[in-house]
Amino acid sequence: MATQTLRERLSGGAPLVAVSFGDEDPAGDAARARDLGVDLAELRIDWNRSAEPADVLAAVEPFRAAGLRVLATIRSRAEGGRWAHDEDARLRLFESILPAVDAVDVELSASGILPRVIAAARAADRPVVVSYHDFDKTPGEEVLAGTVEAAKAAGADVVKISTMAHGPEDLRRLAGLLVRYDSLIVIGMGTEGSATRVLFPVLGSRVTYSADGDRPSAPGQLPFEETVRLLETFSPAYAAARGAGA
């Protein structure tokens, strides 16, 4: 069971390794995540078979009962998700689940609901990850910096930038964000970006996302066990946190 809250871990110190889950087998997934020592369970509610709040809350409960930190994501289709309903329904679902999870992730591009999701998170005392995804490319430095600034201005506790990496220049551009800003999650997707899933947490990226076995939820993800092994090798802070059960 985690000894530090998600807010505490997001604010500094050792990074977290996340694994994403749907609602196919919440009890089994929660038990496996607990046994593996998953740092953060990202519940991809946009993958769920039902978008009814009661059904979603029932799928969240086993993860809470297992003592896992829970990040709830309802990803839009525009940014790689499967949410098939309108924005009013997505807002209502965010508002319903916020008291039952540790944090939520909402896209910067979700301008119609973003202010109200952040307000609901503030009322529930939950941190908000404001995210940006580009599955085709890594934009230029000015675009990336502007995106971070806009997300922070909107009220993000943590800003997530995830872009497709096509070579060393993209990796340098993404690494530059970690030097320039605090409270970021930065990921280079794809084969060229796989190294960022281990090296960027060492540089300060707050969360890295890993695969549940051989089922990656985004291009370039490494299996959870491999990600943990590599981070324990290269990050003394992460190895210490794992050893302490933090």
Q: Which residues are catalytic?
A: 133, 160
Q: Which two tokens stand for residue 230?
A: 């590599």
Cα–Cα distance measured from residue 156 to residue 183, given in angstroms and rounded to the nearest whole number: 9
141 φ, ψ (degrees, to nearest 5): -60, -40
Residue 237 makes CB contacts below 8 A (sequence gap 6+) with: 13, 14
> At which residue do the structure tokens 């993860």 appear?
63
Cα–Cα distance measured from residue 192 to residue 69, given in angstroms and rounded to the nearest whole number: 30
Cα distances from 191 to residues 83, 177, 211, 245, in angstroms, run 26, 20, 14, 31
Cα distances from 101 to residues 5, 111, 154, 185, in angstroms, run 11, 22, 21, 19
